[in-house]
Structure 1
Amino acid sequence: MTTTYNCSTDDQRALGLEHAQRAISEKKCVVFPTDTVYGIAADAFSPQAVTMLLVSKGRSRTMPPPVLIPRINALDGLATDVPADARKLAEAFWPGGLTLILHAQPSLDWDLGETKGTVALRMPADDIAQELLTLTGPLAVSSANRTGQAPAQTAAAAREQLADSVEVYLEGGFRPAEGEAAVPSTIVDATGPRLRVVRNGAVSLDQLREHVPGVLGLGEIPMAEEEPAEEEPVVAEPASVPAPEASGASGSSVVEPATPDSDTPAGNPQP
C-alpha cells in the first residue's frame, strides 16, 4: 500500500525511513528528497527492482539510473581504476551536486541497464537521503518524475506523476527551496584519458577547475598537440659510389582532436 510520510516530524520520519527500508528490501520503489530534486530509488543490486524503477518513469534500459552512496569510501567498492583527478573532485564536492561516471567493478552482481561497463556515482548532501542510504546501502536513483515531465520538487508532486508505482513517499519539503529552479547534478565522465563534463548542473566548470584544471567543459575538445619529430633513417651508399652529403630529414604530424562520445550511460536527468 502506497504511503506518504511527513518527515518534518520525528515520529513520521522514523516510521517513513523504516517503511522505506523494508520496501527497498522487498524490491519496491521509494521516493525521497535529495539536495537537488526528489529521487525515485530502488535496490541497485536487484534487476527486478531496477526494472520497476525504469517502468515507473517510462524509461528504457538505454538510460540506466545512477547510484547514490552514503559515504565516499563506497567509491572503491563500486568502481575500479578510479583516476586521481576523479578522487580530487569527489573529495571536494561530495556530499553535493556532482555525479562521476566511472568504470564499474566487474565482480558486482547488478544490472542497471545498458551501462557499457560503467556506473554513475553520487553522494547527496541531504539528511533524509543520507539516513535512508545508511539503512539500505547504495541505491539506483533517478529524478522522481515521468520521462519528459518536470522533476518533482516535493513528494506530493512526485506522487502526482508516479502514483501507486511507488511504495513509500518521504515528504521533506521543497528541494531545492520553494521558488528556486530545480538544478540537477553536474555529470563528469572520468572513464577517458581526460575528465570531461557531459551535463552542466549544480557544480560549475569554474568550480571543477579550481581542483582539476584540465577538466573539459561540455562540448569542448582537447587542443591538438604536436608529436615529436621522427628522423628518417640514413642509408649508407655503396663504397664504389661517391656518397652525397647526408642530411637528416625530419617531419612532424598533428594529432587530430578527439571528439567526445555523446553516448553516456548516465546522461539522463537525475538527482
Structure 2
Amino acid sequence: MSHPNASTQPLVLNVERAEDVVRAATMLRDGRVLVVPTDTVYGLAADIFRPGAIGRVLEMKERASDSPLPVLLGSAADLPLLSNRVPRLAWRIIELFWPGALTLTLPARSGLHPALTGVGNTVACRVPASHSCLEMLESLGTPVTGTSANRSGFPASRLGLEAAETLTTGPDAVLLDDPHVPGGPPSTVVELRDSLIVVLREGSVGVEELRRETGERVVLAKALEDLTERR
C-alpha cells in the first residue's frame, strides 16, 4: 500500500536496457532521485553534489540530518572526491573487499554536504558488487547516496517498486533489476583507529573474516566502548 503522501507513480527503467541505464544517470545528473538496485537491497540514489537532491532523500526517508547518508562509488579511484586522507590499512581493506558489502568510514574532505558527514566529519562509502549499479555509476561519473530505499525504521526491500511505495514521497524513477536484488544482511560498516579495525555495524562481512583476511585486530565498537568505560 502506498504511503498517503506518495506522489504519482515514478518512471520505471530496466537495467537490461542500456539506454535506460544512461537515462538513469542523466536524471541523477539533473538532480533527480532514483530507487536503484545494489548488491544488498534497493537504494535511494542522488548525486552527492546536488544539495537539493540530497535534501529530498532525507525527506523521503524521514531521516534526521544528523544521521549521515552512506555513499556508493563507481570505483576506488573516486575516493579523492570524498577523502584526501586514506590510510594504508584502508587501501588494504579496499583491495580485499571492494566491490562488496563493506562500508569504510574515512575522514571527509571539506565541502561535502553535511548530510554525508554528520558531526564526526567522516564519510561512509563503498563500491557495490552490483553490475547494474556500477554501470549506472560509470555513466554518471560521480558518487551517489547509498542509503536503503525505505523510511527510517521500516524494513528495506528487495523489490524496486515496493521500495518506492514505502517512501513518504515518490522518487523520480525506479531502475529495476530482474527479478530482485539479493537481499540478506546489510553492508558491514568499519572505521580505522590507527591499526585497529572497529566494526560500527555488523553485516555481510563477519568479524572473523575481517581478522582472517587483514591479519589485523578487529573489535566491535560496543566492546571497545565497554572496555574504555572500565578503565
Q: Normalising by structure 2, what TM-score?
A: 0.85
State the 1:218 CA deviation.
4.1
- 1:161-200 pair list within 5 angstroms: 161-162=166-167, 165-172=170-177, 173-176=179-182, 182-190=184-192, 194-200=196-202
* Residue 109 to residue 216, structure 1, CA distance change in 2 (3 Å): closer
Q: Is the 8 A contact 2:60 2:169 kept in 1?
A: no
- Greater Rg over alpha carbons, structure: 1
Query: What RMSD, in angstroms, separates the aligned Cα atoms of the two structures?
Result: 2.2
- 1:32-51 pair list within 5 angstroms: 32-51=36-55
State the 1:157 CA deviation.
1.4
State the 1:193 CA deviation.
6.3
| Amino acid aligned to 2:115 | L
CA shift digits 1:142-189 (9 cap, x unpaired):
00111111101011211221375211101102221xxxx531000001
Deviates more, 1:79-88 or 1:195-204: 79-88
Q: 1:145 aligns with which of 129, 146, 150?
A: 150
Q: Which residue of 2 aligns with 1:246?
A: none
State the 1:2 CA deviation.
2.0
Q: 2: distance between equivalents of 1:220 and 1:196?
A: 10
Q: Which residue of 1 aligns with 2:222?
A: 219
* Residue 201 to residue 43, structure 1, CA distance change in 2 (3 Å): same
Q: Is the 8 A contact 1:47 1:111 kept in 2?
A: no
Runs of 5+ consecutive residues of structure 1 not aligned to the other structure: 224-256, 260-271
Q: Is the 8 A contact 1:4 1:169 kept in 2?
A: yes
Q: Which residue of 1 aligns with 2:6?
A: none
Q: 2: distance between equivalents of 1:129 and 1:171?
A: 10
| Greater helix share, structure number | 2
Q: Is the 8 A contact 1:86 1:195 kept in 2?
A: no
CA shift digits 1:186-224 (9 cap, x unpaired):
00012566320010001011111121421212422299x
State the 1:30 CA deviation.
0.5
Q: 2: distance between equivalents of 1:82 and 1:17?
A: 31
Runs of 5+ consecutive residues of structure 2 not aligned to the other structure: 1-8
Instruction: Look up the SS of the partner of 1:65 in the other structure.
Output: coil
Instruction: Look up the SS of the partner of 2:132 in the other structure.
Output: helix
- The number of residues matched between the two structures is 217
Deviates more, 1:209-218 or 1:54-63: 209-218
Q: Normalising by structure 1, what TM-score?
A: 0.74
Kindly, what percent of the aligned residue pairs are identical? 32
Q: 2: distance between equivalents of 1:62 and 1:135?
A: 30
| Amino acid aligned to 2:66 | T
Q: 2: distance between equivalents of 1:222 and 1:142?
A: 26
Q: 1: distance between equivalents of 2:193 and 2:89?
A: 11
